[in-house]
Structure 1
Amino acid sequence: MGRLIGFLLLLTGIYFLGQNIVFSTFYSPFFWRNLPAMGSVLCIMGGVTSLIVFPRQTGSWGWVLLILGIVLVFLSGGVRLKPTSLWNFMIAFAALISGYRLMTEGRLRF
């Protein structure tokens, strides 16, 4: 039961933190301005595919592609962070960390 509650807390924390992150795309008349955005989509798709379909054969390569895709998302300028209150951030982060601890250890230690 603790692991289920931990999973729900983890999802709640991700939801509240993810509310203030906006991913956007834009049209550019120059082809070289869209290369990081296109590369990020391709790297994330390849990383997720290799982690889900071939986890033993290409697991480490999938993580490399996933991290490279996340870096390219930030380089493309397609990520905007909306302002958030300290209270929302604290609640979301506490739910995220306590959910992770409940899933991995099955209990919380204060």
Structure 2
Amino acid sequence: MKFICQLLGIGLMLLGVYLLGKNIFFTTSAYPYFWRGIAADISVLALTSGVISLFMLPKTEKILGWILIGFGVVFVIYSSRAVLNPISLWHFFLSIVSMVGGFKLLTDRQFGG
């Protein structure tokens, strides 16, 4: 059982890296003012922090993860300059969930480690 959980964890991590590498593009551009690209940056950070919070925080504090994911979605909608494919927000969410879930399977003492 331990080996299967570790194998599943590695598979989920690889799936997450594949989805992230395939569907998200990070580009740079010069803005005349520093605040024009902040909403896109905040959305990526909020989504990542939210997913990590859902997996890593205790059950009593998981609402923070959902709040961060909500802020991330709002900021993606607010910033039309986010360089994501039309459906890559959900691919991004799925890739982060896969990577963090796979990592959790590898490091969890009950299943993986």
Q: TM-score, normalised by structure 1?
A: 0.48
More strand by share: 1
- Highest Rg: 1 or 2? 1
Q: TM-score, normalised by structure 2?
A: 0.47
